[in-house]
Amino acid sequence: MTLSPLQSLFPNIDDWGELGRACIDTLLMLGGSLTLTVLIGLPLGVLLYLTGKGQLRAMPRLYGSISLLVNVLRSVPFIILMIVLMPVTYALVGTKLGVRGAIPPLVIGAAPFFARLVETALREVQKGVIEAAQAMGASTWQIVRHVLLPEARAGIAAGITVTAIALVGYTAMGGAIGSGGLGDLAYRYGYLSYESDYMVVTVALLVVLVQLLQMLGDRIVARYKRH
Partner 1 sequence: MPVIRFLDVHKSYRVDGKDIPALQPFSLDIVDGEVFGIIGHSGAGKSTLIRLINLLERPSGGSILIGDTEMTALPEPALRAQRRRIGMIFQHFNLLTSQTVADNVAFPLRLAGERDATKIRARVAELLARVGLDEHAGKYPSQLSGGQKQRVGIARALANRPEILLCDEATSALDPQTTASVLDLLAAINRELKLTIVLITHEMDVVRRICDRVAVLDAGRIVESGTVADVFLHPRHATTRRFVAEALPEEASTAQVPAAAGRVLRLTFRGATTLQPVLSRVMREHGVDFNLLAGRIDRIKDLPYGQLTLTLDGARSDAALAALRQAGIEIEEVAA
Binding site for partner 1 (CB under 8 A): 126, 128-129, 131-139, 142, 146-147, 150-151, 153, 224, 226-227
Measured from the CB of residue 117, what is the shortest distance to partner 1 in angstroms?
18
DSSP structure string for 67-122: HHHHHHHHHS-HHHHHHHTHHHHHHHHS-SSHHHHHHHHHHHHHHHHHHHHHHHHH
Contacts of 85 (CB under 8 A, 6+ apart): 104, 105, 108
Q: 67 or 142, CB closer to partner 1? A: 142
In this structure, what DSSP letter does residue 179 have? -
d(CA 197, CA 190): 7
Measured from the CB of residue 56, what is the shortest distance to partner 1 in angstroms?
12
Q: 138 or 205, CB closer to partner 1? A: 138
Measured from the CB of residue 147, what is the shortest distance to partner 1 in angstroms?
7
Alpha helix segments (H runs only) across the chain: 5-9, 16-51, 60-75, 78-84, 86-93, 98-123, 127-135, 140-143, 149-151, 153-174, 182-185, 196-225
d(CA 109, CA 103): 10
Q: 21 or 153, CB closer to partner 1? A: 153
Contacts of 225 (CB under 8 A, 6+ apart): 154
Measured from the CB of residue 135, what is the shortest distance to partner 1 in angstroms?
4
d(CA 129, CA 135): 10
Q: 75 or 227, CB closer to partner 1? A: 227
Angle between helical axes of 196-225 and 153-174 (0-180°, round to 10): 170
Measured from the CB of residue 45, what is the shortest distance to partner 1 in angstroms?
18
Q: 61 or 226, CB closer to partner 1? A: 226
Measured from the CB of residue 142, what is the shortest distance to partner 1 in angstroms?
6
Q: 132 or 204, CB closer to partner 1? A: 132
Measured from the CB of residue 163, what is the shortest distance to partner 1 in angstroms?
21
Q: 157 or 186, CB closer to partner 1? A: 157
